[in-house]
Structure 1
Amino acid sequence: MAESIVKYGIIGVGMMGREHLINLYHLRTEGAVVVAIADPHLPSQQLALHLSHSFSWPLRVFSDHHELLESGLCDVLVVSTPNMTHHRILMDIINHPRPHHVLVEKPLCTTVAHCKEVIHAARKRPDILVQVGLEYRYMPPVAKLIEIVKGGSIGHVRMVAIREHRFPFLVKVNDWNRFNVNSGGTLVEKCCHFFDLMRLFAGANPVRVMASGAIDVNHKDEIYDGKVPDIIDNAYTIVEFDNGSRGMLDLCMFAEGSKNEQEISVVGEVGKGEAFVPENVVRFGTREAGRDGVQTLKAEDHRIKYDGLHHGSSYLEHLNLLGAIRTKGEKAPPVDLQDGLISVAIGVAAQLSIEYGRFVTIQEVM
């Protein structure tokens, strides 16, 4: 066992909240233990309790996050509630007299203004670490591609192309994810992951965004309280960065017939690298060596003890946050609030670009 126990509480124990619970159980040898949950939704509470009983972890159950905060039971809080609730919950945690470190699920918030409020509040609390759950950068093939790119093997990055072809949005509690007002829109809710990766690969900040998208296939025959969902199910998005690099996202959420859910291509002046998920394959080569010189690697991370819903990346994000907590602030969270803000800003700009039919600058949304 690790030297000291780190006590976690999970706020929101829907699908992702329970996924965090399982990941933390697999980190128990590192000293992680979940001691409390908070969720007003009784079926979610019961599913989480069933899981915890199978782990022999007794949990205190609260109906809202205020009660959990006042309990004083936890060192770290995982926020995995519906997107539109993140801002209020984060502000309550950050402003609470007792410090709690935080892992907040993506997106940080649904609007740029709310992200900025959270960042402003967190600056006044140097005793708190806040990590944003942009865990795709930890997927083994993506992490390997990041390593190749940052190592200079492909030279100065010029183009980043990301394709996500997948299944439609899953059903969530009270169907909150069917409407832009709750989720921030598909290009915020889902695609902040990919905008974060683009920025990471480019090593630069976004300048302007152009997108084209629509709701063409999914959810059109669904009605909730008399309203039809307004979340788009496909889009192309182009992002221009301040160092001249460009990124492109190809999103389709009615493409279940895909071998890989994510395909990432990074092209530099010297060569090209690619990552494929869930094949866990990475390919890279140089212009000079040509097609015959392309190398293929199987990407693995032997630290992962639980693959879960995201190919081990959630396990690794928890492992990294735990490491940052144990250094007592000397080590910053690997994915910080600024990363969360910029990934949301790109998504907001993309959603507005579809609405306006033109490029939208990051300055406009910031």
Structure 2
Amino acid sequence: MGGEEGEMGVIRYGIVGVGMMGREHMVNISHIPAGKAMVAAVADPHPPSLHAALDLADSFGWPLKVFSGHKGLLDSGLCDVVVVSSPNMTHFGILMDVFRHPRPHHVLVEKPLCTTVDHCKQVMAAAEGRPEIVVHVGLEYRFMPPVAKLLEIAASRELGSIKMVAIREHRFPFLVKVPTQSGSWPRAPLASTTRTKSTTARQVPDIIDNAFVIVEFENGVRGMLDLCMFAEGSKNEQEISVVGDTGKGEALVPEGIVRMGTRQGGRNCVQTMKPTDDRIRYEGLHHGSSYLEHLAFLAAVKAAAGGGAVPTVDLRAGLLSVAVGVAGQLSIELGRFVSIEEVLE
């Protein structure tokens, strides 16, 4: 760690992009046990966002330095790690500047890693040249206690050999923006969609806001995403289902419930669980998952000092999530299955 605070063991964060999610990261970091982490600097070209970040930092007792751009933050020497929570299309340029900078900064980058497969590949190549830097991709849902429990159940083979995975994500309309698991390689997505008025201002968006996406995997598993971003009144925003040849498991969020049914002795045995994690000190916007993600990221950052750091969610996971999304969009445009090789090549 550089600087006096880093040498005392406090991990100093810099946050690039302090809109809603950037400030959510600030609140999560404020709940990490005292003496382990703080936010030292933020960067954002949007003055109202900077002012909101300053107010938050003041409430936490943090002396915060603000910058209008990420380069000033990187040059400041104030930060050991950087959270990239700026608009999606800016991730590539910011990450490349992080890897080019003479001072190493560990990185937690919000999803998506980048907006194109080519940019993801360039980021991965640049990261290979900076092995001292820990890079964690913010796919926080896997840290949610019910989702983590469902993944554990699937991995334990309590459901037998996994055959189908489905995610039903029905959300309320998104906010207006500031201007500016199968264990196998995905093979071929097929998608169908339209665009509808799905922001809180009831505007037709420039992104896909509802779709059915089918993904075939090399090991024979099939996955499906049922997405709707204007689904008022849903009891659960996410319903994740994993079906094996001897049972089924499902995680319901925000109810926080996991249900598992298995065939035993010729009859169906159903268990209902409500997994929790005693480490969570702040639930926030993602039911405690962002807080747990920060704990995992901090553990990897501290392990990096001994040369043994492995991020929980690595760049390969970030690349694959973008590649499947790009393949799905191509499937919509072309009206056919699109192989993952078409996208990756």
TM-score in terms of structure 2 length: 0.94
Q: Does 1:209 align with 2:189?
A: yes
Q: 1:64 to 1:217 in 2, by over 3 A?
A: closer
Match of residue 284 from structure 2: 308
- d(CA) in 2 for partners of 1:205 and 1:217? 34
Q: Quick one: distance in 2 between partners of 1:5 and 1:254?
A: 42
- Please give the secondary structure, in 1, of the residue aligned with 2:101: coil
Tell me the CA shift for residue 270 of structure 1: 1.8
Tell me, in whole angstroms, the C-alpha distance in 2 between the residues paired with 1:310 and 1:220. Answer: 19
Identity value in percent: 64
SS of the aligned residue for 1:211 comes to: strand
Given that 1:7 and 1:34 are in contact with CA atoms closer than 8 Å, whether structure 2 keeps it comes out as: yes
- After superposition, the C-alpha distances for 1:220-240 in whole angstroms (9 at most, x for unaligned) are 9867xxxx6332221000001
The match for 2:130 among 110, 113, 125 is 125
Q: Which residue pairs with 1:348 in the alignment? A: 326
Q: Using a 3 Å threshold, how does the CA distance of structure 1 residues 222 and 275 change in structure 2: closer, same or farther?
A: closer
Is the counterpart of residue 234 in structure 1 residue 239 in structure 2?
no
- Distance change in 2, residues 1:248/1:18 (3 Å): same
Taking a change above 3 Å as real, the CA distance of residues 9 and 155 of structure 1, as seen in their structure-2 partners, is same
- Aligned partners of 2:253, 2:35: CA distance in 1, in Å? 28
In the alignment, which residue of structure 2 is the partner of 1:339? 317
Distance in 2 (alpha carbons) for counterparts of 1:360 and 1:220: 33
For residue 52 of structure 1, what is the aligned residue in structure 2? 57
Structure 1 segments (4+ residues) deviating >6 Å: 220-223
Would you say 1:243 and 2:248 are equivalent positions?
A: no
2:178 and 2:265 map into 1 onto residues whose CA distance is 52
Instruction: Give the corresponding residue for 1:71.
Output: 76
Q: Give ranges in structure 2 of 5+ residues lacking alignment.
A: 1-5
Equivalent pair of 2:174/2:199 in contact (CA under 8 Å): no
Aligned partner letter, 1:166 = R
Q: Is the 8 A contact 2:197 2:205 kept in 1?
A: no
Aligned to 1:181: none
The separation in 2 between residues aligned to 1:40 and 1:129, in whole angstroms, is 26
CA distance in 2, matches of 1:221, 1:148: 41
Q: Secondary structure at the match of 1:320?
A: helix
> Shift of residue 219 of structure 1?
5.5
Is the Cα–Cα contact under 8 Å of residues 220 and 229 in structure 1 kept in the other structure? Answer: no
Q: Higher mean Cα deviation, 116-125 or 250-259?
A: 250-259
1:259 corresponds to 2:235: yes
Tell me if the contact between 2:175 and 2:199 (Cα under 8 Å) persists in the aligned partners.
Answer: no
Letter matched to residue 319 of structure 1: L
2:18 corresponds in structure 1 to 13
Question: Does the Cα contact within 8 Å between 2:198 and 2:205 map onto a contact in 1?
Answer: no
CA RMSD of aligned residues (A): 1.7
The 2-side partners of 1:46 and 1:217 are apart by 31
Matched, 1:88 2:105: no
Shift of 1:28: 3.9
**2:335 equivalent to 1:330:** no
Alpha-carbon displacement from aligned partner over 1:296-325 (angstroms, at most 9, x marks no partner): 001111100000000000001110010011
Taking structure 1 as reference, are residues 259 and 60 closer, same or farther at Cα in structure 2, changes over 3 Å only? same
2:296 equivalent in structure 1: 320
Residue segments in structure 1 that go unaligned for 5+ positions in a row:
177-199
Matching residue's letter, 1:295: Q
Q: Residue type matched to 1:286 in 2?
A: T
* Aligned positions of 1:166-245 closer than 5 A: 166-174=171-179, 176=180, 200=181, 202-218=182-198, 229-245=205-221
Higher normalized helix content (fraction of residues): 1
Look up the equivalent residue of 1:158 and give its one-letter code. Answer: K
Check conservation: 1:285, 1:291, Cα contact below 8 A: no
Is the CA contact (8 Å cut-off) linking 1:207 and 1:241 kept in structure 2?
yes
* TM-score (normalised: structure 1): 0.89
Q: Report the secondary structure of 1:274's partner residue.
A: strand
Provide the rounded CA distance (Å) in 1 between the counterparts of 2:127 and 2:116. Answer: 17
Question: Closer, same or farther in 2 for the Cα pair 1:22/1:220, shift >3 Å?
Answer: closer
Q: Aligned with 1:158: secondary structure?
A: strand
Contact residue 79 and residue 103 of structure 1 kept, 8 A: yes
CA contact (8 A) 2:17 2:84 kept: yes
Paired positions, count: 336
Partners of 2:245 and 2:106 lie apart in 1 by 41
